[in-house]
Amino acid sequence: MLITVERGDPDRPLSRQVLHAEVLRNVNIINRGSSLHTLGTPLGTNIVTISNLPQGFYPPSFIPPQVVYASKDNKGAGGVGFGSGGASFTYRQVRGFSQGDRYLLTLVYEDASGNSGILYRKGFTGGNVSVILPSPWASKAIWISGSAHPQIAGLNRTDTNLKAYRFSLYNSNYDPNSVRNVNVLATKGWLGSNTTFTIPDLSWALNYTPFPLGSNINASISAVFSPNPLRLGLGAVSLSDIFGLNDINALTADLDIALAIAGGSYTVGGGPVRVP
């Protein structure tokens, strides 16, 4: 169980300041019971420093830069530090932190259009933390043909630690007789020197109906960066686990992964578009 003492409005995440954080272990309270615990002296704070923050990009108001504590057994978790969008912020050290526990840094930034963004997730065990954000996609860098299984061009990122590209297509015109969304991950090693990729038509093998003509498709193309090997795919975790908090077990102390996202929309059969 994590106990925090905070100052600020819980409905306004950017105003929150954690004054004390302490984890309680082996607490067993039966129905209608109680337990008395005296909090220890608050521990100090550490600094998160963010480099390469692009001009004109800001965190959404509902997802501030933040550090979350998670216990080894995942039964105690909660925010221990919140930023406001600047180049640094502090997080409170958790009293009672022990081996197997970890801190998890989450950074989300987007431009005014909402079509270009950066996501960053990093696990660590304490101390000051410095991160370097990947650069966002250049304007209109990605070309998408207007088909149900489109060709995508412009995959020419040369950034350090580029590991893969992720392609996500979502039909905003819900049709119960066709597929709703398609997600594909292509590694840098698999693409080689190719700068184009075509979403494969696997409808014959996976027994789905492709997006019909006239469908409005929300497309998202992400460059995936990590200094570590990707642990993604069958039998491993997915990017949805990491960035969607679907599985807290995927958020390990050695996690270090970032996405540069280009988004936009097109109509199936309506011709190509460029994003972001």
Can you read off the two tokens belonging to residue 255? 């996690």
**146 and 269 together in one domain:** yes
**In the prediction, which pLDDT does 206 show?**
87
Distance CA 250, CA 244 (A): 10
Distance CA 245, CA 249 (A): 9
| 31: exposed, middle or buried (Cβ count in 10 Å: 0-12, 13-18, 19+) | exposed
**In the prediction, which pLDDT does 42 show?**
94
Q: Please state whether beta strands 129-132 and 45-51 pair in parallel, antiparallel, or not at all (unpaired).
A: parallel
**90 and 180 together in one domain:** no
**In the prediction, which pLDDT does 240 show?**
55
Q: Tell me, what CATH number does 169's domain have? A: 2.60.40
Distance CA 121, CA 109 (A): 12
Rg (CA), the chain: 21
**17 and 68 together in one domain:** yes
Cis bond leading into 200, ω under 30°?
Answer: no
* Location of structure tokens 């963004």: 117
In a domain, 132, yes or no: no
**6 and 102 together in one domain:** yes
Number of domains the chain contains? 2
**In the prediction, which pLDDT does 235 show?**
41
Distance CA 56, CA 170 (A): 27
Last residue of a domain, one of 60, 85, 106: 106
Note down the domain range covering 59. 2-106
Can you read off the two tokens belonging to residue 107? 């950074």
Q: What is the pTM of this model?
A: 0.89
Q: In Å, how far from its chain's centre is CA 61? A: 16
Distance CA 104, CA 257 (A): 12
**99 and 150 together in one domain:** no
Last residue of a domain, one of 60, 80, 106: 106
**In the prediction, which pLDDT does 247 show?**
60
- Tens of pLDDT along 105-118? 999 999 999 999 99
Q: Which residues in the chain show pLDDT less than 70?
A: 29, 33, 231-248
In a domain, 267, yes or no: yes
**In the prediction, which pLDDT does 142 show?**
97
Can you read off the two tokens belonging to residue 13? 């995440």
Distance CA 176, CA 38 (A): 56
Last residue of a domain, one of 82, 106, 130: 106
